[in-house]
Chains A and B, each alone.
Chain A
């Protein structure tokens, strides 16, 4: 089972994002469950939602306590909410930010995890470019597809076009694709750098 926890603020589409991920997984013939944790929060308040993906029916209805991945829609939550609670040691984090974890002052923290799995993607900017509104949900899902492969980009795009229509669908899909490419390019870059480092090590030895 792959479990994702979404953090964001009321009005940012945190619940929709979890539902889209479930719907993408469903398209790939997997079992999925998405649900919000919030109840009475207003616009702007911290909200959480969850998504589970599995190959067999999901029976449990408890909140996700030990996520495999975190999708953080709003970097301002970093200092407000215990975002990383329960994250598995080999977990993934995708943060909506135009800056890297180092720049955000989280380098020490990420050192405890697998650094290449902690990524940022400028999801709000991408959404502004393609959708005209700073809704980071769809691009983050595109990025998650690239980062984890838990769902394919095609499934994410299909879930988006099923949920929305017209320009909203097109804009969200374009933003998701752009984020996928952004993360995939960075992954390739990291791999290249790692390979080069290894090469150098071997040359040194």
Chain B
């Protein structure tokens, strides 16, 4: 049904239609509205599921692990500090091959504490063994959850659906919320291969030593390889049944003849599309490549998208997280993909890749700034690594101080000192 609805509610409804049997979560901004809506559905009796208000994210992920191992379809949601707090269990769920689905309402990580959107949280778990899907719109966020349960259960691997905190979770947009019959037709009931069952006792979670650990990890890599086929197949199936395209590996926009391609994940792609249109009006042949599936990283699809018969010159990667000491997380994967795709020849040397760190901790990524930055990229003036809309005045004084005296201290508080405010008066 077509609705004007808050993203969180749309996701809650999509999750509810997926008939989860156990939902456990711990509140954290900006995930709260999703879980609250699900809690209300359960309490009202509209959704027949166990709903646990647990005492921490560690307990939330642990409880869905238990539920999934007992054969139930299980769901949780978190963000930021919460995702980090549950991290040990996040890895564990993947290692156990449990088809849990989790929403991550993307938010920055502290210190300094910050409740606003960027991708630091999900990116920190990129090697946990979960499939990671990033939603561009609330429609896609809702759709991805339905696909996620199917992907997770077909593959026996957990799936994380990432949606930008506030920008999507708290935005009211037009969403076609799938009906129960449609979802039932798309998503069969969960039929696990192994469950905890007195009728057929199995042991799950045994220790594996050097004799087989490598092989277990090899199989984890293999599952991810299989996901590269399954994710687009499920997306195609979804498009066939629901009549709209959501999910898949990558989403190209006007890249056919592009000489400048912006690569990004999540809701910023909408703003980028507007900027690309404007650049085209200016005579710059720009395009965009959205990466919907970040884990597994779709090497072939990325390479194919960047590898048309056009003479590609520049790729600008918009990074919504910073890897201090390394730079851009997406850039690293992209660079590897371009350098040597499976069996393919290396890219010509003339592709110039720039990393732009943007939109950290809720700093808006505006069309205006994108356009200026991309224009300078097209003119060859963009450095290999830069920050969008950096307030240089704020960092210059702190850098000067650091040069003058090597004394430790948290930089947020050092900035305070420079602003003339200190914690102790």
For the complex, is A180 an interface residue (Cβ under 8 Å from B)? no
Assembly CA distance A59 to B171 (angstroms):
12
Interface residues on B, range: 20 to 34
For the complex, is A167 an interface residue (Cβ under 8 Å from B)? no
Say yes or no: A60 contacts B270, CB within 8 Å: yes
Name the residue on B nearest A19 (C-beta): B172
For the complex, is A182 an interface residue (Cβ under 8 Å from B)? no
For the complex, is A10 an interface residue (Cβ under 8 Å from B)? no
Interface 9-mer from A31-39, A99-107, A133-141, A185-193: A31-39
Given B166, B173, B270, B273, which contacts A36 in the complex, CB threshold below 8 Å?
Answer: B166
Chain B min CB distance to A164 (Å): 15
Q: Is the interface of A mostly helix, strand, loop or mixed?
A: mixed
In B235-284, the 8 Å CB interface with A consists of 267-268, 270-271, 273-274
For the complex, is A176 an interface residue (Cβ under 8 Å from B)? no
For the complex, is B140 an interface residue (Cβ under 8 Å from A)? no
Assembly CA distance A22 to B5 (angstroms):
9
Known contacts A23-B4, A39-B115; is A62 also within 8 Å of B366 by CB? yes
For the complex, is B174 an interface residue (Cβ under 8 Å from A)? yes
Known contacts A61-B164, A62-B367; is A34 also within 8 Å of B174 by CB? no
Say yes or no: B172 contacts A23, CB within 8 Å: yes
Given A18, A26, A39, which contacts B166 in the complex, CB threshold below 8 Å?
Answer: A39
For the complex, is A63 an interface residue (Cβ under 8 Å from B)? yes
Chain A min CB distance to B4 (Å): 4
Contact with B along A179-201 (1 / 0, CB 8 A): 00000000000000000000000
CB neighbours (8 Å) of A40 from chain B are: 29, 115
Q: Is the interface of B mostly helix, strand, loop or mixed?
A: mixed
Name the residue on A nearest B277 (C-beta): A59
Contact with A along B149-191 (1 / 0, CB 8 A): 0000000000000001011101111100000000000000000
For the complex, is B51 an interface residue (Cβ under 8 Å from A)? no
For the complex, is B232 an interface residue (Cβ under 8 Å from A)? no
Chain A min CB distance to B269 (Å): 8
Say yes or no: B4 contacts A26, CB within 8 Å: yes
CB neighbours (8 Å) of B26 from chain A are: none
Assembly CA distance A128 to B368 (angstroms):
42
Assembly CA distance A62 to B371 (angstroms):
13
* Chain B residues with a Cβ under 8 A of chain A: 3-4, 6, 29, 115-116, 164, 166-168, 170-174, 267-268, 270-271, 273-274, 362, 364-368
The 8 closest A-B pairs by CB, nearest first: A59-B270, A26-B4, A35-B171, A34-B172, A60-B271, A61-B267, A23-B4, A61-B167
* Chain A residues with a Cβ under 8 A of chain B: 15, 18-19, 22-23, 25-27, 31-36, 39-40, 57-63, 65
| 26 A–B pairs (Cβ distance < 8 Å), ordered by A | A19-B172, A22-B172, A23-B172, A26-B4, A26-B174, A31-B174, A32-B4, A32-B172, A32-B173, A33-B172, A34-B171, A34-B172, A35-B172, A39-B29, A39-B362, A60-B270, A60-B367, A61-B164, A61-B171, A61-B267, A61-B271, A62-B271, A62-B367, A63-B364, A65-B366, A65-B368
